[in-house]
Structure 1
Amino acid sequence: MTLPPCPASTTPLLDVRQLAITLRTPRGPLRAVHDVSFALAPGGTLGLVGESGCGKSLTALALMGLLPGGTQVAGSVRFDGQELLPMSDAQWCRLRGNRIGMVFQEPMTALNPVHTIGRQVAEPLRLHQRLSARQARAEAIALLERVGIAQAEQRLDAYPHQFSGGQRQRITIAMALACGPQLLIADEPTTALDVTLQRQILELIQSLVAERGMALILISHDLGVIAQNVQRTLVMYGGTVVEAGPTHAVFGAQAHPYTRGLLAARPQLGTPRVPGGRLPTIAGTVPRLADLPPGCPFAGRCPLTISACDAALPPATALGAGHMARCTRLGEVA
């Protein structure tokens, strides 16, 4: 799906065009991401939403050059005017952690258990900014204080297991922000955290993005998180963007049946409880990549499925104000 370019006065910081990712599996090559396109300006915020396995994290890993070995990537990913996909490992290493930072989904696996958190936060500063050990240590303390780690100087030599889940997530944010990146990718940054910690982490990310003027890509399966924290939203299913546009338009119009199904399945405060009642669900289960239909990936689970849905992937249809959707039966959905 092709989103409208950034306004003429704003040059895109990140410009992704027709990104396709094919994984090598025992069953042969499988297309995991298909025709993903978007542009993100400096200071802009973009959300990727969808069920597990829809291609959100793979898209983020492609932007970081961290896809599994043997993966085939096609399309174009330009960052600040530079094409990223053909870059060598050495070039990626100079970019990652320096101009592009990433907050990974699970902080306990993102942090090295045998190194102190001070060493891990200081590492990008020493590698990319060539700071001395003393300078990097002082900057690491300042970063940990900024993300809300109490007694940062005293806890600098502690190990990841000595921190709570929320504290570890704050530490990974400090690592991602160490070199002042132009783009921050946050992949499910609030997974497994309680509601209070989720709010604190999201408010921290928002304040840091605003303070530093960074662009943000926020990945989540939580529709509420996406609705409240980003300007534009891409809804993904089966490796394809099925709906995209300004967040208020995507959540307000819900032009694609999958978007409607996701929103209908959310519990809502104030809804009368019916004895024996259940939340609406989307029929069926998410198919494996090898079992995706040849046409619309949502065909079969969608209550509006007709033979045309199975024949070919629907084209992206403009709905106005930068809002687009891929559906053969947009009229019936509306």
Structure 2
Amino acid sequence: MPLLQADHLRVTLRTHRGSAAAVQGMSFTLERGDTLGLIGESGCGKSMTALALMGLAPDNATVSGSLKLAGEQLVGLRERDWRRVRGARIAMIFQEPMTALNPVHRVGAQIAEPLVLHRGLTRRAARARAIALLERVGIPEPARRIDSFPHQFSGGQRQRIMIAMALACEPDVLLADEPTTALDVTVQQQILSLIRALVAERGMALVLISHDLGLVAQNVRRMLVMYGGAVVERGSADEVFGHPAHPYTRGLLAARPRLAHRLVAHRSERLPTIPGSVPELFSLPPGCPFAGRCAYTEAPCFTETPPVIELPGTHSFSCRRADAVLGSTDLIAASA
């Protein structure tokens, strides 16, 4: 039985303009120790997927489909039942720790709270555990800093505190939503190394969400490429990065700056770009969400749902013009 299994998970938002699907037909499975990456531009549905997995979708959202944790159906759970799961069995490192941490409570109290609620520890035992967690994530002098407020820590330290909170109850699944945003490269590597070590040490499943392709390539075994709320390509990290199939994935990889490119390129030379921008949820075509921005677009792409094309291994992508796309090597060369 998979640890976490999503089948045709859908998040629909109700607004004054009508309803729109923020996540469409998300499906995946996670076993213990699995690492899964979600990539895509801002607005493609990555963070909304994470919120749905945590039972934290907005009040104007309807979550449908299936989401099972060790066989237990989570879609449709009452809030009091979600509170039993959230933090204890599924935990999340949020994108911006300064908004996720409560500014008027000391960090020690925030780390200890889930230990009291979910593990039944006494306040004294939870405090001792919180100090140990702060030490584990690299906060200096944890016994003294445990009574400090979030604003008294640096950005990298606040991110470490978020990790300590997420790991307090040793969850089965860890969601990391842009865990290194706005951090310098050295701190990024320290935090990612810490997450990798803890996942390996505790056998947790990891879902890493990022628009940083290099970060995902180095830290996950499997990945999903999202666009317009839908998964357009999936496979192992080696398969997707080694042989990108969907035009959107190829465009993302071709647009990455490279050190070798920067050393030889003229200052006026521009990186390849994907034309246009991610459309609003209300403006998505009923067919392929990438229609219009894709160089292979034909009229039926706007109206016909693209079929899933199976490639060798676990690799697949959704495209109704697969023959033309796979027969082209220009974008593959650009992303190699």
Q: TM-score when scaled to structure 1?
A: 0.96
Identify the match of residue 207 of structure 2 among 209, 217, 220. Answer: 217
Percent identity between the aligned chains?
Answer: 62
Is 1:327 the counterpart of 2:311? The answer is no
> Helix, strand or coil for the counterpart of 1:32?
strand
Deviation of the 1:53 alpha carbon: 0.6
Match of 2:106 in 1: 116
Is 1:313 the counterpart of 2:305? The answer is yes
Match of 2:331 in 1: none
Partners of 1:25 and 1:194 in 2: CA distance:
38
- Structural RMSD (CA): 0.8
Is 1:75 the counterpart of 2:65? The answer is yes
Q: How many residues align?
A: 324
Partners of 2:107 and 2:204 in 1: CA distance:
24
Q: Which runs of 5+ in 2 are unaligned?
A: 327-336
Match of 1:18 in 2: 8
Partners of 2:211 and 2:308 in 1: CA distance:
22
Is 1:176 the counterpart of 2:176? The answer is no
Is 1:286 the counterpart of 2:249? The answer is no
Deviation of the 1:333 alpha carbon: 1.9
Partners of 1:31 and 1:181 in 2: CA distance:
29
Identify the match of residue 229 of structure 2 among 226, 230, 239. Answer: 239
Is 1:153 the counterpart of 2:153? The answer is no
Match of 2:43 in 1: 53
Q: Residue 116 of structure 1 aligns to which amino acid in structure 2?
A: R
Contact 2:309 2:316 (C-alpha < 8 Å) held by counterparts:
yes
Q: Which runs of 5+ in 1 are unaligned?
A: 1-10
Runs of 4+ that moved beyond 6 A: none
Match of 1:3 in 2: none
> Helix, strand or coil for the counterpart of 1:270?
helix
Identify the match of residue 277 of structure 1 among 234, 249, 269. Answer: 269
Deviation of the 1:197 alpha carbon: 1.1
Deviates more, 1:116-125 or 1:316-325: 316-325
1:209-237: CA deviation from partner (whole Å, max 9, x where unpaired): 00111000000000001100001000000
Deviates more, 1:108-117 or 1:305-314: 305-314
Deviation of the 1:275 alpha carbon: 3.8
Is 1:189 the counterpart of 2:179? The answer is yes
> Helix, strand or coil for the counterpart of 2:240?
helix
> Helix, strand or coil for the counterpart of 1:320?
coil
Q: Residue 279 of structure 1 aligns to which amino acid in structure 2?
A: L
Deviation of the 1:190 alpha carbon: 0.6
Q: Residue 313 of structure 2 aligns to which amino acid in structure 1?
A: A
Contact 2:199 2:206 (C-alpha < 8 Å) held by counterparts:
yes
Contact 2:11 2:21 (C-alpha < 8 Å) held by counterparts:
yes
Partners of 1:143 and 1:194 in 2: CA distance:
23
